[in-house]
A and B are shown apart, each in its own frame.
Chain A
Amino acid sequence: MALDRNTIQIKTLTPLWTGDVKGECNEVKETGIIGSLRWWYEALVRGLGGYACDPTNSDCKFNYKEYKRTGKIQDGLRDMCDACYLFGCTGWSRRFLLEIGNGNPVYKGTLKVKCDRRGWYLKGGLYDSLNARILNTSQEDRQDTVREDYRAIVISLLEFISRWGAIGAKTQQGYGVFSLNPSETGLSETELPRVLTNGSRKRISEQKHLPHIEEIFVWKVNFRNFEVKSIPQWGNFTYNRGIDDDMSIGPDILQFLYSKYDFVPTSPLFRYRLRKSLKQSFNNSDLRHFMMGFMGIGGSPRLRMEREVYEKMGSKIHVSHLYKKGDLHEMRIWAWIPKYVLLNSNGRVRLFEKHFRTSTNSILNTLSGEIRKSAEEIFAVENPSVVCWNFDVAQKRVVKVEIPENESYQETGELK
């Protein structure tokens, strides 16, 4: 794809994963990226007081009948949430076009990471400076069309995610961290929140259990000097070559990845330690599975929590691989710690702290402590910088979080 004025560059810091119908990743699938964009956009909109539906269970649509009756676009938009307005829904196309060029595969086989008796299989993913073309697709000449620079909104959203999250699939396993070409201009930090909830249309109250930006906490771990060879003492890395041998990868896979791609696949080690820490700190398996995700328990795909049954659940804690950013080495961990939990019958919603007998602060405390300890031990660095960030809804920007003292939950049910 040739560079033109509509093209920006996305530089992958850890491999990007977008799965295809065979479960592989040989090229970038824009639908996967747009799905991530939408997830973050919804979290921002909800946090700022707007309304964003769950697109897998939504009745948002463009009310064509009303539009025909009055001739005003705004009347047709009444049954649509803020997220569907940008990303599209029945009768309303997406307001922007996204096309991303293909990257190069990192490796063609599978990397097996073992820690204690646990093992994880990491496939390669894609890595490169990807050209992303973003266009407005709305018709500027139509009357009554709400005119926004949708391209600027999408770029601002990408900038936000590049600083605090990741895109694509398998982000909980380290994939998808990226940076943007710094010369790109989206909307400023103050303009983006205004635009996100501009004239909120539809309002339905029950979205408390869906991701809100103020419930998302991001830890950034930074340090300078580091030796790759310190890592194997915490994990056993084996490269299982696929059908297409990549002969350039020798036995020292970690050094190869660090030298060629500026990242080290440490996410499984951290995830293992975080899961263990949650297990030790809270005598509550349900909480651990809820936060770290699960496929099934004892061969069953369901988890029973207080007589409620949950299906397979994705991890709410996402841990990136270690990557180089300029002179620094960095990794980021972002966690969605919800205030409310959807119980699986009749849409009942319950407070997280009442349901799991613990508080957000306790979890923050546990995670912060374990992240610092793991970073010191796994990377063999002294006193790494570990800072926790959170989106302050009142100030409408991301601020540092001072982790409060640990709280205990007593049998009376009251938090102390």
Chain B
Amino acid sequence: MTYDFYVGLWENDEDDLKEELKKTENRRKSQRIRNAKRMLPRFFETRFSANWYSKTKEISLFVKICEENDERELLKIGYDEYVLRYLSTGNGVLRMNDDWTLEIGDGSSIFGSIACPALLLPTRNSFLLSIKFVLQKPFISKDDEGFYIHDNPVSKEKVFKIPYIRASSWKGNLRWAFGKANELHEDDERILRVFGNKKGEEASENLRKGRLYIYPTFFDQISLDIINPHDRTTKTGKNPITLEVVPKGRRGDLHLLYVPFDKIGEDEREIKKEIETDLLFLCRAIRALLTEYGMSAKRTSGYGVAEMGETAFKSILLREYEKYSDFEELVSALSGKCREFVSRGVRLNE
């Protein structure tokens, strides 16, 4: 389901918008741009659909059918200013409440923190790990939306069009970070048991589902960023590239559910070591991914780095770790336990 089917341009709106653009028709370009920045965001906010995403679609539609290059350019400038003025400030999109639930414009609350009593875990040896984080640098991830006013929209959830990190993105990046942070080869058995087979191994006989279930992360604002590559001959910017981003300072949740389905019925004392090891390695991977490498496109340019916050851990078998609400304390406790394994001859890093 997309909003494209429900987007249309009313004749009145189209006429009014053209009238707005014509107001500075014979003025200098700088004045036309100033007018676009001042008038168009207000026009978009008050005239087009109430829903913000439909609004952007209507603007996109108008840009596509617009014949004049100047008008197209002014609309894009007006849209950018609309994002910076309204959507970046949290007005008109969503609101993140203090309890980290997301609220859409009509007040309905969705996508709150996953409240999962331990008894509802799938198996005794499963665990649920939830980590709150705050972006220190903007987050970028390109949407696969084709019909949009510019070329680089941030990824949005399919139905409600809320900016989010796809679960598949989390999985791929966590898999990479799991190997990097724990110095494991990409074919290591521990990676395989947590994440499953690599892509492209469908024909292999050694097929195996991973134990980890990953949920998407939702955000509540979008903003814009810009990159301006410079021509080497003239040393001037040629074609600035506008990117839609989730701005820094926004909060998100990472939820992971670990279900060792292949160990059901086995001796819990034996599998507990394996689960603790997996949990420790996973925590190291999450810490490396969020605080060192960044969870975003363009992360080599510093995007996507985050600061970790409150942690929630739920498990029946590993109940002793539920008391840790600080991530580093949880990792410390796990490291201590795993050092015990090592001293007893259990090798972790093979």
Contacts and interface: CB of A to CB of B under 8 A. Distances in A.
A211 interface: yes
B242 interface: yes
A221 to B, nearest CB: 23
Interface stretch (A183-191, A277-285, A312-320): A312-320
Interface string B278-299: 0000000000000011100011
Contacts of A30: 301-302
Given A99-B137, A135-B292, A56 B300 contact: no
Interface string B224-239: 1111111111111011
B301 A98 contact: yes
A217 to B, nearest CB: 16
Contact of A21 (B226, B230, B238, B239): B226
A21 B292 contact: no
B275 to A, nearest CB: 26
Contacts of A20: 225-226
A98 B302 contact: yes
Given A20-B226, A97-B300, A310 B234 contact: yes
Name, among B84, B137, B233, B236, the residue most crowded by chain A CB atoms within 10 Å (CB to CB).
B233
Interface string B219-262: 00000111111111111101100100000000000000000000
Contacts of B236: 311-314
Given A20-B225, A21-B80, A21-B226, A88 B235 contact: no
A312 B238 CA distance: 10
Contacts of A54: 231-233
A312 B292 CA distance: 40
A19 B240 CA distance: 12
Contacts of A315: 235
B238 A56 contact: yes
Name, among A42, A94, A315, the residue most crowded by chain B CB atoms within 10 Å (CB to CB).
A94
A39 interface: yes
A98 B300 CA distance: 6
Contacts of A42: 232
Contacts of B300: 88, 93-94, 96-98, 137
Contacts of B80: 21
A210 B233 contact: yes
A21 B84 contact: yes
Nearest to B303: A30
Contact of B229 (A29, A35, A141, A316): A35
A34 interface: yes
B233 A342 contact: yes
Contacts of A61: none
B234 A312 contact: yes
A311 B299 contact: no
Nearest to B299: A97
B331 interface: no
B234 A100 contact: no
A56 B301 contact: no
Contact of B232 (A19, A137, A210, A311): A210
Interface string A90-119: 000110111110000000000000000000
B305 A55 contact: no
Interface string A20-54: 11100000011100110001001000000000001
B263 interface: no
Contacts of A88: 300
Interface in B103-145: 136-137
B185 interface: yes
Interface string A278-316: 000000000000000100000000000000001111111
B233 A21 contact: no
A362 B135 CA distance: 53
Interface in A208-252: 209-211
B230 to A, nearest CB: 7
Contacts of B230: 35, 39, 56, 314
A313 B235 contact: yes
A315 B227 CA distance: 20
B77 to A, nearest CB: 11
Contacts of A314: 230, 234-236
Nearest to B81: A22
Given A31-B227, A34-B301, A211 B232 contact: yes
A211 to B, nearest CB: 6
Nearest to B83: A21
A96 B302 CA distance: 10
Contacts of B235: 293, 313-316
B302 A313 contact: no
Contacts of B238: 56
A209 B232 CA distance: 9
A21 B234 contact: no
Contact of A97 (B224, B239, B302): B302
Interface string B63-97: 00000000000000000100010000000000000
Contacts of A100: 302
A311 B234 contact: yes
Name, among A42, A88, A313, the residue most crowded by chain B CB atoms within 10 Å (CB to CB).
A313
A301 to B, nearest CB: 10
Interface in A65-100: 88, 93-94, 96-100
A21 B224 contact: yes
B232 A56 contact: yes
A6 to B, nearest CB: 8
B186 to A, nearest CB: 8
B305 to A, nearest CB: 6
A21 B302 contact: no
Contacts of A29: 225
Interface in A129-155: 135, 137, 141
A99 B305 contact: yes
A91 to B, nearest CB: 15
Contacts of B292: 135
Contacts of B299: 97
Contacts of B302: 30, 97-100
22 contacts: A20-B225, A21-B84, A21-B225, A35-B230, A39-B232, A56-B229, A56-B231, A56-B238, A56-B239, A88-B300, A93-B300, A96-B300, A97-B299, A99-B137, A135-B292, A135-B293, A141-B185, A141-B186, A209-B233, A313-B234, A313-B235, A342-B233
Interface of B: 80, 84, 136-137, 185-186, 224-236, 238-239, 242, 292-294, 298-302, 305
Given A54-B231, A313-B235, 13 more contacts: A29-B225, A30-B301, A31-B227, A54-B232, A55-B232, A56-B231, A56-B239, A97-B293, A97-B294, A97-B300, A135-B292, A314-B230, A314-B234
- 10 cross-chain pairs, A with B, having the tightest CB-CB distances, nearest first: A314-B235, A99-B302, A30-B302, A94-B300, A21-B226, A54-B232, A30-B301, A97-B300, A313-B234, A21-B224
